[in-house]
Amino acid sequence: SQRLSFQLALAFAAEQFPAKLLPEFAVMCMDAPSTRLMFAIAILCVASTVSAATVRTRNFVVTAATDEIAQKAAKAAEFWRKELSEQWLAQEMPPWKEPCPIKVNVGRIGASGATTFSFDNGQVFGWNMEVNGSLERILDSVIPHEVNHTILASYFKRPLPRWADEGAATLVEADCERAVQARTLNQVLKNNQRIPLRNLLNIKEYPNDKMQVYALYAEGYALADYLVQQHGEQGRYVYLHFLQLAHEQGWETAIRKYYNFKGIDDLEQHWGNWVMAGSPRLQPEGEMLADAGQPESATPNPGMEYRGQSPDELQPLAMIPRPLRQTAKPRKETLDPTSGLAPDVPELPAPLPIPARSANSGEQSPEWTQFPEKRSRIQ
């Protein structure tokens, strides 16, 4: 009992106290009787709860250890909700009926997040979000990733295939996080653990096998990136049209209509060739690239990571360039707010004619810095 109490206290302290105070706290716990130790743990728990700060905005209720962290996270959540809804839907979504709670856990832990919600009769409810990691990664990767899930859920009002949902959410993460997925995909291919496209398209739940989860995230990101790039500025609009038609008429029909491939097998061949070529930046017909330079070389790390933590440890791969994140210009004049796939969400504008498929060498993306200036995320 005494040993268990000590372990519980130390585990709690590791999350709450600075690292330099842990040795002193450990000595105190070892010297304390069991009853006194459990009382101290209770006091710490109460103090932690009382000291937590809560910030409310129009669409979020954010709880964090300090008011400063809660304010930053709340500001980031509202910023990304507006920014990403404009990127995907060409205009900001209406406010939710009920705000989404966000629990923010800042610490020396890997960047991760989880968002839960329910669907019923064409409505989404029961939002709940938790984000973890360094404050920098929470603001520039975890929150936009999780908010992206809420935007697509609000639009479709139904579950999406896992690859499509996770792939789209990973597209909006910071460069260092997307580099993790690029490196993971290299490892998946090297170990012959790739999920065939026909299987990937129809995965509705996360696999039980951890390595298959890695593959799902990495392949989902690569496929979403490839499809979105096919249509340049309209890539995200076309992507959502594609997912809706696939839901109604199947993948073969949707692939032929929106991406000009013969079907799943043809898409898999072209996509696979693109990945093996280093995922070069695609250049849709009529568009110019700002920079066709090759990225810096780096030695791939054979280690597998689910989500990254420190951008200083992640370098762009020689094989896979990291494309510059761009924001598509909203086309509000084409929207009809009274019609759509889901209540209160406008229908997407009609895609432009399908461009010819072509590829070019990639361009390296500078790091995301400024927040929350929408057009100033690069140095």
Please write the tens of the pLDDT for every residue from 327-377. 333 333 222 322 334 444 545 555 544 434 433 333 332 232 233 333 222
> What are residue 351's phi and psi, to 5 degrees?
-65, 155
Tell me, what's the pLDDT at 49?
A: 47
**How is residue 240 annotated by DSSP?**
H
Query: Is the omega angle on the peptide bond into residue 372 within 30 degrees of 0, that is, cis?
Result: yes
The pLDDT value recorded for residue 52 is: 84
- At residue 198, φ and ψ (nearest 5 deg) are -60, -35
Choice among 72-81, 109-118, 200-209, 286-295 with the minimum mean pLDDT:
286-295
Instruction: Give me the torsion for CA of 82, 86, 89, 92, rounded to 10°.
Output: 40
Is pLDDT at 65 greater than 80 in this prediction?
yes
DSSP string, 121-165: TTEEEEEEEEEEE-HHHIIIIIHHHHHHHHHHHHHHSSPPPHHHH
What average pLDDT does range 160-167 have in this prediction?
A: 96
More confident residue, 42 or 301: 42
CA distance 276 to 9: 50
Average pLDDT, the chain: 74
- Residue 277: both structure tokens together: 């070529």
Residue 367, CA distances (Å) to 17, 180, 195, 362, 378 in order: 31, 15, 31, 16, 6
Q: How far apart, in whole angstroms, are the C-alpha atoms of residue 36 and residue 14?
A: 19
Token pair for residue 256? 């032929």
